[in-house]
Chains A and B, each alone.
Chain A
Amino acid sequence: MTDITELSAVELRDAITAGDISAVAAAEAYLEAIDRIDPRLHAYNEVHRDRAMERASDIDRRLSAGERPGPLAGVPVALKDNLCTAYGRTTCSSAILADYRSPFTATAVRKLEDAGAIVLGKTNLDEFAMGSTTETSATGPTLNPWDTGRVPGGSSGGSAAAVSAGICAAALGSDTGGSIRQPAAFCGVVGFRPTYGRVSRYGVVTYGSSLDQVGPLARDVSDCALLTAAISGHDPADSTSVPADVPDYPATVDTPLENLKIGVVREFLSDSLDADIRQAIDSAAETYASLGAEVREVSLPYSAIDRDDEGNISSHAVACYYIVAMAEASSNLARFDGVHFGHRTAERVRDIVELYSRTRAEGFGDEVKRRVMLGTYTLSAGYYDAYYNKAMKVRRLIHRDFERAFETVDVLLGPVAPTVAYRLGEKADNPLQMYLGDIYTISVNLAGLPGLSIPGGVSKAGLPLGIQLIGPVFSEQTLLRAGHMFEQASGIRRLRPDLAGT
């Protein structure tokens, strides 16, 4: 019999629904894999063993009673640890929430469970999703299953590593500036950030409210479609979620698109891009051309990378993103003050102000402090217009760039990140360098668009290469179908690292 953990989510669901595999057996197989593999990776912050087994037997009971427990019946999944669950802890990989238990469950998680999924546990992330390597986690970094000397990317590094290593069938992450797509690229899995407003943010511990979006990480595009369909839809508890119908993504994902027009973003193919990744994009373009798609070059001027005389690179989009995200973060994270919940300093304090500052000094890591301080600064009187207001204007220009591009093409093709997975510690001391790594993903967040990260091959050094498809708002169906077309034609799918070497 095949190893259960080798199956895709769709295959496993079918096997469980058909009665070939029990949900309990599937849960057991994954829990066993976690025990065996996760000590080497630290993808999980917490595993919900007993609850997973109870839920799995419940699925089996319902199946034997003739019920249909849903499109994810018995599929074991992992959740980024910034998604609130009314069971276990929700820590955001931060010391300030080390023992925090949420009284409620995030809408996206509830919908996933309502569809029959079994939650295995909560995965590691950069503290409060602030980072691109999972190294800012207070519980220590997650390691990349392809090379444990490298980071899995971030901030949804735990979810990406878990999917890649086969210690969950699929996972949820959140994407504020590329936090689903970049780790998916670093770990060789599919990662999807849906349109802002497509998936409820209720129960996602907020980093950048206007940028955050929940999305799946999966082994292939079909699994991605399955999870996206399960979590999408309007939620009255989230005023920014959009009341629009959700197409049946799984039903259409394997239908190729005709007359597809693909735009390759000129500004994304600069010399700061790794040659291997450039090569992967060129060959993806050729693959699409061979499928009858029209490929042309398009321009996104405000997402361009500028280089000054001394070779320093900068970007409107990166500057804009970090101002908006940090401003929002500085306010969103104000509630972690030791008064109502979470860590409170054990020191004797003179007054409430000292309680606040000690609690926050002890509870937050350096990257969170850096972003809270920068955000506080940009919102301060006298700086608001120069930073926040100007960033909002740039944001509109970036949005307009995309609108113009989508007048001529259906989908944009480009890189996810400028490089393959970094070595551990490589960027840790140079935040600016790390921020620039988000250069190809953040414009999508600023414009509120959907972006799909899929494997585009493996580098000469044996590391996964990610490519990104970007579409207009609510073009999830098109992106998933386009991604599936590439997967089928290129044969690049379900990449698995050699875990024996880790």
Chain B
Amino acid sequence: MMRTSDDILPVVGLEIHVELATATKLFCRCRNTFGDPPNTHVCPVCIGLPGALPVMNRRAVELSMKVGLALDCKVADYTKWDRKNYYYPDLPKNYQISQYDLPLAADGRLEIPLSDGSTHVVRVLRAHLEEDAGKNIHAAAAHTGVDLNRSCVPLLEIVSEPDMHSVEQVLGYARAMHRLVRWLGASEANMQMGQMRFEPNVNLRIKRGDVEFRTPIAEIKNLNSFRALERTVAFEIDRQYAAWLEDPEGFSIDKLGKQNRGYDDDREQTVFQREKEEAHDYRYFPDPDLAPVVMDKSWRDSVAAEIGELPLARWKRYTEDYSLSPEEADALTQDPETGDILDEAVDTGADARRGVNLLLGRGAALANERGCAIAAVGVTGGQLGELVKMQDAGEVNATAAARIFDILTETDQSPREVAEREGLLAVSDSNQIEQWVEQVIEASPQAVEDATGGGKKQKGAFGFLTGQVMQLSKGAAQPQEVQQILRQKLGL
């Protein structure tokens, strides 16, 4: 799209729905699970039969408190449940139990790392807990089924302030939230399973000269992937600017307010959705079937104690204390466990840099091969620490260390035991190395000639001879020592 000299500021807020990873549903004891045949995890409560009553799942409240605390929110002393009344076939009671005017958590913030190494703060307006609806299944032409396995699954709705001003920031916030809820164990946040859904609100502030224009807000419902989120926001920014260019006075928030739009995955664009007649009157009122929830200090404190270092804090610590690049720090803060291994290794006195090299070198490669997280390849912090220290002390060289790392993924033995068993301990016996050097010199007259000839082949030939010696040592010799002896013998 052609941009004029107009100064365009996208303004984006994001509602994120997160299904919590509780064992059972929010108001009944049915299993909270995904992918089983329709209506196999249902009971009178979650299918809304007459006479059934909800009973709150405390763990769902705790996980929500945990997310709220991690987002720096004020977690309420007291909250209650409200009914949001609307008719829809996937909502068997025709009301959803939610939280209206007293959300569980409010006034928080999430700082997100950006690609240039800086960070951006997005304020969190509120986070409230509610029950998820079931799913309509349009199986045949004139027939719709309803699967209520998802009905009553705990859903945390996290609403941001409109603090994002670029696609990168929107994506950064969404990814940071995804990482955070997984980090806390609050949700598996699996997008394919609909465990994390996005609803961006997008509009533009356009400055032309001294006049500021604001386009109508578009709310795009139910996005199920980062890709859809990215494309939707990008599409909306372009669409709104184009619409504004055509009619700068008419296409304004004052005249058109807010519109619901849906994302068409195939066409990769958003489409206008007609307003439902009573879409905005949910007739909220306190649910008389449920007691208010008191979240006293001791409960809040015990939940807070479950929260360790958060991903961004760790990311900052790694970039500052360990001097890692933003990308390295990012890779090490995908989950809490990978960084825990590094930190444990460093705690044993190992060098962080070498630890990172092993984790993001062999560790990442193995994780990639095996389709698992780095932390899951099977090397403990203690093993990593000892290995790094051995490398530091010259007891193993880098090649040997990498091999030992691989072997450690399949054994509980210590790196030293592995190194001894595999003959990978560095050989610093110079008599032994001299013997290998002489053996190589004798066997490679051409390379010796090149290496001592001073021509342009000299460097390559010297490298070749070094490699031959290393091979004889099965990687156990220290390359520096080999080169020193080699130079001596060749008279270089």
Contacts and interface: CB of A to CB of B under 8 A. Distances in A.
B285 interface: yes
A57 interface: no
A335 B53 contact: no
A109 to B, nearest CB: 10
B49 A239 contact: no
A210 B291 CA distance: 11
B44 A340 contact: no
A339 B85 contact: no
Interface in A314-367: 327-328, 330-331, 334-337, 339-341, 352-353, 356
B84 to A, nearest CB: 10
A97 B146 CA distance: 21
B48 A335 contact: yes
B166 interface: no
A238 B27 CA distance: 11
Given A202-B52, A335-B48, A239 B89 contact: no
B85 A102 contact: no
A391 to B, nearest CB: 11
B87 interface: yes
Interface residues of B, number: 30
Q: Is chain B's interface secondary structure helix, strand, loop, or mixed overall?
A: loop
Interface in A179-215: 201-206, 208-210
B50 A237 contact: no
Interface stretch (B92-100, B221-229, B257-265): B92-100
Interface string B284-308: 1101111100000000000000000
Given A331-B83, A381-B280, A106 B51 contact: yes
A328 B95 CA distance: 12
A35 to B, nearest CB: 29
Contacts of A238: 53, 55
Contact of B53 (A97, A237, A379): A237
B49 A103 contact: yes
A202 B51 contact: yes
Contact of B283 (A203, A208, A379): A379
Interface residues of A, number: 44
B442 interface: no
Nearest to B44: A104
B56 interface: yes
B53 to A, nearest CB: 5
B281 interface: yes
B358 interface: no
Nearest to A209: B288
B85 A380 contact: no
B54 interface: yes
Given A339-B146, A352-B89, A102 B53 contact: no
B283 A97 contact: no
Contact of B44 (A97, A103, A210): A103
Contact of A335 (B50, B280, B281, B288): B50
25 contacts: A90-B51, A97-B50, A100-B50, A103-B49, A104-B49, A205-B51, A206-B51, A210-B288, A238-B55, A239-B54, A239-B55, A239-B290, A240-B53, A240-B291, A330-B283, A336-B50, A340-B47, A341-B49, A352-B87, A379-B85, A380-B283, A381-B283, A384-B283, A384-B285, A388-B285
Given A102-B49, A239-B290, A380-B281, 15 more contacts: A83-B51, A104-B51, A201-B53, A209-B287, A209-B289, A237-B55, A239-B55, A331-B85, A331-B285, A334-B85, A335-B50, A339-B92, A340-B48, A376-B283, A384-B285
